[in-house]
Amino acid sequence: MTNTKKKKTMKLSSKNMLLISITFFCLAILFLGIALWVQNNTTSLPPIHGYDKDINISAGESAIRVNGIKSSTGHGIFTAPKGNHYLIVSVTIQNLSNKPIYVLPSTDTYVKDPSGKLTYLSPFELANPFRAGELLPGDKSSGELSYLVPTSSRQNLYIDAIWSGGVIVFAAQ
């Protein structure tokens, strides 16, 4: 005698298939709406502000301090174009390690506005320009950095170097 088992198969009618498809479509639309709502509410967060000036930050192999921030429209060949000004940042960097570090403001620093636009060092006639180069163990160097930026937007100063241990942000404007 052979023992045969009947397999039960479920057959869905066209009507049921249509209802299931409509349900999944509605769920997809619902999840898309939720995703768009989350995206709109997270991208409108206020931009980061960073550390204030006159605060010593020990990070990586260094201690960093923004001593002052001022702006100037410039003069002579360094007159800022209309709608712009020079942001002049006075900084002090001290080497806390037991080996020399290389401080290169043209690649280690920049300013950024809330929209993400970067500005690197800009030529300007400074009273005390920051000296780039080797900083011996325990030594400290102070000076000014200048950036040509729009007058209508807020800026943050970023120090991003191996010796700083990563990105450090200061509120610059």
Domain ranges (residues) in the chain: 14-45, 57-171
Query: 47 falls in which pLDDT band (50, 70, 90)?
Result: very low
pTM exceeds 0.85: no
Please report the sign of the dihedral spanned by the C-alpha atoms of residue 56, residue 161, residue 113, residue 85.
positive
Residues in the chain: 173
- Written as one letter, the residue type at 96 is L
pLDDT, position 42? 44
136 has a pLDDT exceeding 70: yes
Check: CB of residue 20 under 8 Å from CB of residue 27: no
* Higher per-residue pLDDT: 12 or 59: 59
Res. 111 pLDDT band, cuts 50 70 90: very high
Joined together, the tokens standing for residue 21 give 């498809």
Domain 57-171 has CATH 2.60.40.1240: yes
Tokens 């006075």 belong to residue:
90
Q: Which of 62, 81, 48 is nearest to 171 (CA)?
A: 48
Cβ neighbours of 80 (radius 10 Å): 19
> Would you give the DSSP letter of residue 7?
P
- Segment 80-96, tens digit of pLDDT: 999 999 999 999 999 99
- What amino acid occupies position 110? Y
d(CA 99, CA 118): 31
SS3 32: helix
